[in-house]
Amino acid sequence: MYDSNDSNASIAGTYTVSGAQVTFTPTSPYPAGAQIYVAACNGPTDVLGDVYYSYCYQQVIYFTVSTATTDTTPLTVVSVNPAAGATGVRLDLPVAVTFNKSINPSSVYGYNAYNALLYAGQSLRDNGSVSFSADYRTIYFNGGALSGGTVYTIELPAGGVTDLSGNSLASLFTSTFTTANDPATGDGSVTGVEPGYNASGVPTDTLITAFVNRPVDPSTLSSSTSSAVTVNGQLYPGNAQVIGGGYEVQYTPTVPFPAGAVVQWFLSGVSDTSGNPINSASGTFTTAATPNATAAPQFVNSSPANGSSNVPVNTELDFQYTLPIDASTLGGVSVVNYYGSSPGVSVTLASPNVVRVTPTSALAPSTTYYICLTGSFNGTNGVAAQNSCTYFTTTASGSDTTPGTVKVGPPNGSVSVGTNAYIRLQFSKPFDTTTANASTIAVTSGGVAIPGSFSFNNTSSDYTGASFSPLNPLPASSQSRLLSTESSTTQATPSPSTRRSSPPHPAPTSPRLPSPWISGTERPASRPTPPSPASTQSRSTQAASRLRESTSTMRQPTQLCP
C-alpha cells in the first residue's frame, strides 16, 4: 500500500487473511484526498504455492480518499535504537527512530535534511543521509560505523518530520546513548579532503585540509617525511599541523599557490594517539588560472531559469556574465522573442555582471517565451559580450506579489556544527541566482567574512536552494553568522540572520550533501531549437552549464561572490 501524493511512500498497517480475502488496516487514517495504490510484488501465493504476481509493483487496485475528514493525530516517537541512555553500545549497531505512523520521506530529505540529526559528541554526524523501513515508520541514519567512547545524540526538531497528512512532532525530541571505547588496535583513514579530489578552479590562497577518523598524534607529523605537497611536480614549501581536536591535518603554504597549477598532496607515516597507523592517502587539484583581462564576457546564467514553467507574468529577466558589463553600451542590446512578438522592455544593469531586462507591461499568461539578448554591447574591458538566450513559460495565475521566505540549515543557534559543515538555504519559491552576491548573502565569523563558494539546487528547472561551502574548515570553537538581505525571489525575501557554533573538531564522517543536492548538478532539460540563425543557437546552448557557474569561488575574505 502506498500514497502516490507523498513520494509513493508506503503506508504502515496490518494484514489479515480469511480464505481468498486479504484485509489491510492502516495504522492511522489515510491522508485526506490522497490516491492510494495497492501493488503486488512476487506474491501473494495461494495454499498450493502459486504466485499471484511473479514480478514487483503490479497495480492491483487504487482509490482516492475523501477530503471530508483529515487525520489530525499528532506524530510521536515510539522507540529509538540504541535505547535512550544506553552505554557500551557496539560500534556496528544501527541508529534508528520509529514513529507511531508512516512519515513523509520528503520531510527528511534534501532541504529538510536538518529535520533528523545525529550528533557524535559536539559534531554533526549525519543529516539527510537516511533510509526507511518498508512501511516508512522507521528512519535509519546511514552514518556508517559509530565512533568509540562517544556520546551520541538523536535530535528531531519540533515541526520538522511530518506524517503523510502533514502532522509533525509537537516538541523537540532528543535521545542519547554512549558507545563502547575504541579498540586498542585498528588503522585510521582519511575520510575527506578540502579542496576535493581532482577539484579545478581552486583559489590560489586555499589551505589543504585532510579529515581523518582517528585523532592524529602531532609528534608523528613531519612536513619533510609524513606530509608533502608538490606544485607542477616540484616540492612546495609550507607547514602541516594537527588541528580540530586531532581530526584534521592542515597544510598552509608559505606563499599562495601559483595560478593554473597542478597541486598534489601526500600523507603517510602518520599514527593516531594510540599508536595505530593512519592509512596513506594522496590527492590532486588544480588552481584557478589568471583571468584574461581581454576576454569577452561570457554568458553563464539567467533568471528565470532555462526551461522554467513557473514564471509569474510580472517577472524581470536577469542575464549573468563572467565579467562586468559597460552600462553605456546597453543601448546596443536588442531583446528578441523567437516564440512570438517581442515585449517592450527596458535594459539596465542589476549589478556589474548582470544585465536586467524589465518588460514594460505584464507578459501573457500561460505562454512560452524564448528571449535572447542580441546586438552589440561590451564589457568594461571594451570587448563585445556574448549574446545569450533563455526560454520559460509563464503561469496562468498572473502576477506574483507575495514575499518569499527562506530556511537555513544548520538551524539558528546550533552549537554542534562540525568544522567541515556546509550551510544551506531553502527558499519557498524559485529564486534568482544572479542576486546571490556579497551584498545579499554574508557568512561571517567574528565579523570577518568566510571565503567559500555557492552552488544551487534545482527542482525541475527552478532553483529553490543554495549551498555555501567554506573554502577552508569553519573556525573551531567559534560562532558563525549568516545574514541574507532582500534577494533571490521575484518578490523580496525577508532577511534571516542565523548563528551557529563550531566545536573544536569536524564531523566524523566526510562532508557531503544529501542526494537531492548532488543531483542538482545535473543539466536541466535541453532547450528547444528556435527559429533563429545558427549563431544564436550555438550561444543559447551555453546555458546548459548554468549549475556549474554558480560554484564561483570567493577569493577575498570581504567578497562572497564574484
Q: How far apart are CA 427 and CA 435, in angstroms?
A: 13
Residues 141-157: tens digit of each pLDDT: 987 778 788 889 898 88
Distance of CA 167 to the CA centre of its chain: 25
Question: What DSSP element (H or E) covers 546?
Answer: helix 546-549
DSSP class of residue 452 equals: E
Residues 346-357: tens digit of each pLDDT: 999 999 999 999
Average pLDDT estimate for 500-513? 47
DSSP class of residue 403 equals: P
Residues 376-434: tens digit of each pLDDT: 899 999 999 998 998 999 998 888 888 888 877 776 777 667 777 778 787 888 888 88
Predicted local distance difference test score (pLDDT) of residue 99 = 94
Give Rg (Cα) of the chain: 27
Q: How far apart are CA 162 and CA 106, in angstroms?
A: 9
Average pLDDT estimate for 511-516? 32
| Better-scored residue on pLDDT, 553 or 172 | 172
Of 6-15, 211-220, 273-282, 483-492, where does mean pLDDT reach its minimum?
A: 483-492
Distance of CA 66 to the CA centre of its chain: 36
| DSSP reduced 3-state for 141 | strand
- Cis, bond preceding 352 (omega within 30 deg of 0): no
Looking at the chain, the whole-number percentage of residues with pLDDT higher than 70 is: 79
Chain-wide mean pLDDT for the chain?
78
Highest mean pLDDT (candidates 54-68, 323-337, 511-525): 323-337
Query: Shortest CA distance to 229 belongs to which of 204, 263, 190?
Result: 263
Predicted local distance difference test score (pLDDT) of residue 54 = 63
Predicted local distance difference test score (pLDDT) of residue 206 = 93
Kindly provide the residue ranges of all beta strands, DSSP E only, lying in 91-237, ordered along the sequence: 95-99, 117-120, 123-127, 130-132, 138-141, 151-156, 173-178, 190-194, 199-202, 208-212, 227-231, 234-235
Highest mean pLDDT (candidates 73-82, 226-235, 523-532, 541-550): 73-82
For the entire predicted model, the pTM comes to 0.61
Give all domains of the chain, ordered by start, each with its CATH number. Answer: 2-64 (no CATH), 77-178 (2.60.40.1220), 190-287 (2.60.40.1220), 299-394 (2.60.40.1220), 406-522+545-549 (2.60.40.1220)
The amino acid sitting at 95 is V
